Amino acid sequence: MIDEMTYDTDASESVMSDELALDAIASSMVLFDGAAGVSPVTDLFSEEAEISWVEETPRARAGRPKGSSVSDLEKESGASEPAFYAYLQNISKNSLLKAEDEIELGRKISKGDRDALAKLVTSNLRLVVSIAKRFRNQGLDMEDMVQEGNIGLIHAARKFDPSMGNRFSTYATWWIRQAIMRAIANKGRTIRLPVHVRGQLTKLRKCARDYHQKLGRFPTEQELAQETGIEAAEVQRLLSGISGLMSLDDAIAGSDREPLGSFIEDTESPRPETEAEASMLRRVIDKLTKHLTPLESKTVSYLYGLENGIACDTRMVANILKLDVQEVRRIQKRCLKRMRRHLYNRSIEDFV
């Protein structure tokens, strides 16, 4: 029995160290360089993978030699990269194996024959592409899913037992699907979701789809909770974690192609004009207070919050400076009168 959700660690290490099997794939494979306004329930419904035939794009045609035709495999996979197109051309040349050949190769592999392992893997690379196309639009590029599926294919080839009486493609399908599903779970989202959370989301997504087909509308959170048996609070928490992510560097459609970040106001930082105005006011106040004594300067600063922006009343200032309240008031009147005499061109009125 094959465990769909876990790898055999020992088998993984042995397969990855099997240079011949990896070289066999590399010989026919080009390594690829790495690749609003709706409710959460609507987001949940729209995340369902859409399996559709993909037409050949202009970019793919640019990488295809003139006069060559696109095979059914290439149409189904939706090849959009010239390198990926070349990979599909290469694996289409590999001949398929008969049941007798698979049995013979399986026996040789069990005895440690690396040539047999390489032949069994390369002959079934097209199976990986055929399975990978079913998982499109789930967060991973087609090229990445094919590479992950190839790793699963190697695992299947290593563990294939011809005495079970089934074809290798039937056995390998489980390993390939396992590898692709694991890759989507781990790498399909910018923020990774645990496997059990993805299972709950799949349950909610199926319920939302069936509900929409029956009633022509999306269910509410309470209705989802009743249909699936999941608590309403948990449904709300799950739906809050599936919102789509956008980069601030994403270009906005238009002639200027401005990034999204240039249209979003930063409410946490002070506005540049506010900072400039505060700096100019600070210089005007410094000119006025330079004519005061140190005690008068401290008194005015505490009374009007010139240092930290927090103004104090006369009783608080008196306690801080160890003065009488009446003395603080006299100092305040004296300072205001003196500063009015030194007010140049009524410059402070621009800030009032």
CA dihedral 221, 227, 228, 231 (to 10 degrees): 50
Vertex 248: Cα angle to 244 and 250 (nearest 5): 80
Q: Are residues 205 and 169 in the same domain?
A: no
- Last-in-domain residue among 164, 187, 210: 187
Q: Are residues 14 and 106 in the same domain?
A: yes
CA dihedral 201, 203, 207, 210 (to 10 degrees): 110
Q: Are residues 281 and 233 in the same domain?
A: no
What percent of the chain is modeled with pLDDT above 70? Answer: 73
In sign, the C-alpha dihedral spanning 259, 263, 266, 271 is: positive
> DSSP labels for 219-255?
PPHHHHHHHH---HHHHHHHHHT------TTPBPSSS
Q: Are residues 102 and 171 in the same domain?
A: yes
Q: Are residues 81 and 143 in the same domain?
A: yes
Tell me the angle at which helices 325-341 and 294-304 cross, rounded to the nearest 10 degrees: 100
Chain centroid to Cα 310, Å, comes to 44
From the list 163, 86, 167, 80, the residue with the least C-alpha distance to 123 is 167
Q: What is the pLDDT of residues 98-136, one digit of tens each?
A: 999 999 999 999 998 999 999 999 999 999 999 999 988
| pLDDT-wise least confident of 51-65, 85-99, 238-252, 300-314 | 51-65
CB 177 within 8 A of CB 16: no
Dmax over CA atoms of the chain, in Å, equals 110
Q: Are residues 163 and 287 in the same domain?
A: no
Within a domain: residue 265? Answer: no
Q: What is the pLDDT of residues 145-183, one digit of tens each?
A: 999 999 999 999 999 998 888 899 999 999 999 999 889
**Residues, the chain:** 352
pLDDT of residue 77: 52
- DSSP-derived secondary structure letter, 259: B
Within a domain: residue 142? Answer: yes
- DSSP-derived secondary structure letter, 133: G
Q: Are residues 179 and 221 in the same domain?
A: no
Task: List C-alpha distances in Å: 163 to 100, 123, 142, 342.
Answer: 12, 20, 34, 104
Chain centroid to Cα 36, Å, comes to 16
In sign, the C-alpha dihedral spanning 268, 270, 271, 272 is: negative
- Last-in-domain residue among 152, 187, 222: 187
Q: What phi, psi does 251 have (nearest 5°)?
A: -80, 140
Q: Are residues 37 and 120 in the same domain?
A: yes
Q: Which domain holds residue 213?
A: 195-244
Within a domain: residue 255? Answer: no
| pLDDT-wise least confident of 7-11, 93-97, 205-209, 210-214 | 7-11
CATH number at residue 220: 1.10.10
CB 192 within 8 A of CB 176: no
Within a domain: residue 129? Answer: yes
CATH number at residue 165: 1.20.120
Q: Are residues 163 and 121 in the same domain?
A: yes
Residue given tokens 């103004």 in the structure block: 311
Query: For residue 9, is pLDDT > 60?
Result: no
Q: Are residues 151 and 114 in the same domain?
A: yes
pTM score? 0.49
Q: How many domains does the chain have?
A: 3
Within a domain: residue 260? Answer: no
The pLDDT confidence band at residue 75, using thresholds 50, 70 and 90, is: low
Within a domain: residue 3? Answer: no
- Last-in-domain residue among 170, 187, 204: 187
Q: Are residues 88 and 205 in the same domain?
A: no
CATH number at residue 324: 1.10.10.10
Within a domain: residue 263? Answer: no
Q: What is the mean pLDDT of residues 315-339?
A: 88
Q: What is the mean pLDDT of residues 88-93?
A: 88
Say how many C-beta atoms besides its own lie within 10 A of residue 202's C-beta: 12
Top pLDDT among 345 and 311 is at: 311
**Distance between CA atoms of residues 25 and 150, nearest Å:** 8
**Distance between CA atoms of residues 174 and 171, nearest Å:** 6
Q: Under 8 Å CB-to-CB from 96, ≥6 apart: which residues?
A: 123
Q: Are residues 97 and 36 in the same domain?
A: yes
Within a domain: residue 1? Answer: no
Tokens in use for 169? 């493609």
